[in-house]
Structure 1
Amino acid sequence: MARFGLIGKNIDYSFSRGYFGDKFKALGLDHTYENVDLQSTEELAVFFKQPLPFQGLNVTIPYKAAVIPYLDELDSVAEAIGAVNTIKITADGRRIGYNTDHYGFLKALEPFLPLEDRSALILGTGGAAAAIVHTLANLDFRIQFVSREASDSALSYEQVSRYVILDHLLIVNCTPLGTHPHTEQSPTIPYDFITNNHLLFDLVYNPEVTTFMKNGAKLGAATTNGYQMLVGQAEKAWEIWNS
């Protein structure tokens, strides 16, 4: 039997526990997967001070960057992104950090490629955006950030014009807006300028069809949620734990 788990805060909703539980059952493995719900960075520090009885861990918000000081080694991709969502614990107790979010996003995006133009509007500049941008940069996409306040690196939502929408055929919602139970919410962009050449990719997966996606679909855009990205990153984590 091997133990695996997810580190996060308020994670009863977790995709990972159910997914891996079903996976272990299907494979006939007597493994366990448990939520490690930590309410503060202080609790995170205490957790990592002890020997960890796990073979592997996933990490979700808000600890993807906060775990890095407690690791012995970082994969080059995790180091480039600045966030870890997968930890492999070796037989001698070494903790190695990886980021599989970028892989999951790529696998979820591939069925929609190529777009007519490699241009992406990234809604949100938080930790969720880092892996997305890493993937898109490697695909030679032009990238424009949108944030609540304008800066040298981002437009404000008020600055997203008809031209901005038409000039970016991939629009990725990296914010939590629209997540259950606040399903009526969505990023405030001028959806009227969306076309059938657009792809709206929502990292939110609950509900299955978000308001962001509905707003794009009304105008003929392709849409997808974050579920397949989660599946892709989970399968990559499983591969890492077993390598």
Structure 2
Amino acid sequence: MELDIEHQKKVFGLVGRNISYSFSKGYFTEKFQGLGLDDYSYENFDLADISEIANVLQTPHLAGLNVTIPYKETVMAHLDKVSLKAQKVGAVNTIRITKKGNTKGFNTDVYGFKKALEPLLQPHHFRALILGTGGASKAVAFALNKLGIFYTFVSREDKPGMIDYDRINATTFDNYQIVVNCTPLGTHPNISDCPPLPYEYFTDKHIAFDLVYNPSETEFMKRAAKYGAVTKNGYEMLVFQAEKAWSIWNK
């Protein structure tokens, strides 16, 4: 059921870096057309540095923003308020802007990932490896915690509480049944890239979830599927988080 939306000119957009490929602009433009919201528009705000968001926030009729790599964490310092959940996660991917120009940050990635992963879960899925340590990985960790799934971060550097890629072996895959790629590796146009894993240890007991959605089947997914793993890309997660953002903007 769609919300009762006040029909007046409104501008929404995506803040990130190198975002011409992004899902959001096409998705929301099509949504506005479908709802007959001719005065609504969605723009990409490609920023070299997050400090430039001050200029973005001066955009006339701006009502809401999505935030993507690499600004989900650093954007928080530039907002008037941040929701309690987003504070706990440590990352913001949705911003609501009032008519007075006040800003509040939210995290809808948690909701999106949880909704997308749940249908795949089986009783033997109780530990997860999270590849990457950015804002998206924090949302994934928060969602996994909500689902009661233990997780460990994987980083290129050996940091406290994390493991590096060089330490991942057959025993690791015995102990961890879910692998979530939260890095941009494999994103178009660099479609041959993938996280440096020993893919031969994937089995049909594993889930390989890639937050990348372009291409629809990433190299990470292809290599995991070769050994029987259940694979999923980030498209459904994006749709869920986008719809959650839409409801936040229209509250």
What is the CA distance between 1:46 and its match in structure 2? 4.1
Aligned pairs for 1:111-130 (under 5 A) are: 111-130=119-138
Mapped pair 1:35 → 2:44: yes
What is the CA distance between 1:179 and its match in structure 2? 1.2
Question: 2:187 — aligned with what?
Answer: 179
What is the CA distance between 1:92 and its match in structure 2? 2.8
Q: Distance in 1 between matches of 2:50 and 2:141?
A: 26
Question: 2:209 — aligned with what?
Answer: 201
Q: Give the RMSD, CA atoms, in angstroms.
A: 1.5
Question: 1:70 — aligned with what?
Answer: 78
- Name the SS for the 1:92 alignment partner: coil
Mapped pair 1:238 → 2:212: no
> Does the 8 Å CA contact 1:115/1:169 hold for their aligned counterparts?
no
Choose 190-199 or 66-75, whichever is displaced more: 66-75
CA 1:98–1:24 in 2, change beyond 3 Å: closer, same or farther? same
Percent of residue pairs bearing the same amino acid type:
52
> Does the 8 Å CA contact 2:45/2:56 hold for their aligned counterparts?
no
- Name the SS for the 2:227 alignment partner: coil
- For 1:224, which of 232, 236, 245 is the aligned residue? 232
What is the CA distance between 1:51 and its match in structure 2? 6.9
- For 2:26, which of 7, 18, 27 is the aligned residue? 18
Amino acid at match of 1:112: L
Aligned pairs for 1:84-103 (under 5 A) are: 84-103=92-111
Residues 16-50 of structure 1: CA deviation (Å, up to 9, x unaligned) = 000000011111112111111221234234444x4
Choose 39-48 or 169-178, whichever is displaced more: 39-48
- TM-score, normalised via structure 2 length: 0.92
CA 1:42–1:240 in 2, change beyond 3 Å: closer, same or farther? closer
Q: Distance in 2 between matches of 1:236 and 1:87?
A: 12
Mapped pair 1:44 → 2:53: yes
> Does the 8 Å CA contact 1:115/1:197 hold for their aligned counterparts?
no
> Does the 8 Å CA contact 2:173/2:202 hold for their aligned counterparts?
yes
Mapped pair 1:104 → 2:112: yes
* Structure 2, unpaired ranges of 5+: 1-8
Residues 42-83 of structure 1: CA deviation (Å, up to 9, x unaligned) = 4234444x4763111111122212221221111111111111
Mapped pair 1:148 → 2:148: no
Q: Distance in 2 between matches of 1:4 and 1:47?
A: 11
- TM-score, normalised via structure 1 length: 0.94
Amino acid at match of 1:153: G
CA 1:68–1:219 in 2, change beyond 3 Å: closer, same or farther? same
Q: Distance in 1 between matches of 2:123 and 2:134?
A: 25
Amino acid at match of 2:44: N
What is the CA distance between 1:165 and its match in structure 2? 0.8
Amino acid at match of 1:170: I
What is the CA distance between 1:210 and its match in structure 2? 0.8
Question: 2:87 — aligned with what?
Answer: 79
Question: 1:213 — aligned with what?
Answer: 221
> Does the 8 Å CA contact 1:51/1:93 hold for their aligned counterparts?
no
